[in-house]
Amino acid sequence: MKTLLILSPIFLVFLATIYFIWAFNKRTEKLAHQKEIMKAGDRGEYKVQAVLTLFEKPNSRYKVYHNIKLGPDTLHTNEYDSVVIGPNGIFHIETKNYGGERGGIIDVDSRGNWILHKKNGYSKLIRNPSGQVNSHEYRLKGFLNRVVGVRNLPTQGIIVLSCDNTRIRYNKKAKHNIPVMGRHEVVNYIQNYKKGNLVVYPRTIKRICQNIEEMNSMERAN
């Protein structure tokens, strides 16, 4: 009995050590997985940014920003992957690297759920980015109204799938008000976008750009 009493603290320490090692390894695996996801997301954003360089030519009427924050004030902002400002509108782009490098198929059901089917046969439910884009639209409107001081400008959110081998399929009853497209389609979409007779004049584009740069220089300073 005395031997058991002596050994029990040692046994408890042994169990605690085993648990600590297991928990540490699990946390390390989780962090490594999160890093891989972030790297994949960054690769996707770079692919889309490369396509958008077509708007950055010397005589271009468009202005492009990447990884910026916008909102009605510096305390209430969202981070945007890419924003394109031009004479026919202000476009905010949410880049998604669903499917990784190999790609897959995204099915959207009647309730708006997104299910990704990878080429290796694995399927999983993924977050529908529409809510994120709607939040960006709201913050962008706040930025334009309160910071720039201009209302009723044509704005449009776009979801861009950066992997060329990923495609999307909609259920007949699925609602999809936000356009979803591949990275090679986005330039053509923006160039041909029309929202009635609304026009963004050069002086307004200049004012928007000045305020974007001012807000983000303050963000970096903080």
In this prediction, residue 120 carries a pLDDT of: 83
pTM equals: 0.79
3-state secondary structure of 183: coil
**pLDDT for the residue 37:** 43
Within a 10 A sphere around the Cβ of 140, how many other Cβ atoms?
23
pLDDT reported for residue 173: 85
Closest to 208 measured CA to CA, from 99, 73, 33, 63:
63
**pLDDT at residue number 11:** 59
Instruction: Return averaged pLDDT per consecutive 10 residues of the chain, 222 residues in all.
Output: 55 63 57 44 84 94 97 96 98 95 92 92 93 97 95 96 95 89 97 92 96 87 60
Cβ atoms of residues 153 and 204 within 8 Å: yes
Cite the DSSP H helix spans in the chain. Answer: 2-52, 130-142, 186-191, 202-221
Residue tagged 């060329």 (tokens): 164
Q: Where are the domains of the chain?
A: 2-221
> What is residue 78's DSSP assignment?
E
What confidence score (pLDDT) does residue 151 get? 87
| pLDDT confidence of residue 222 | 60
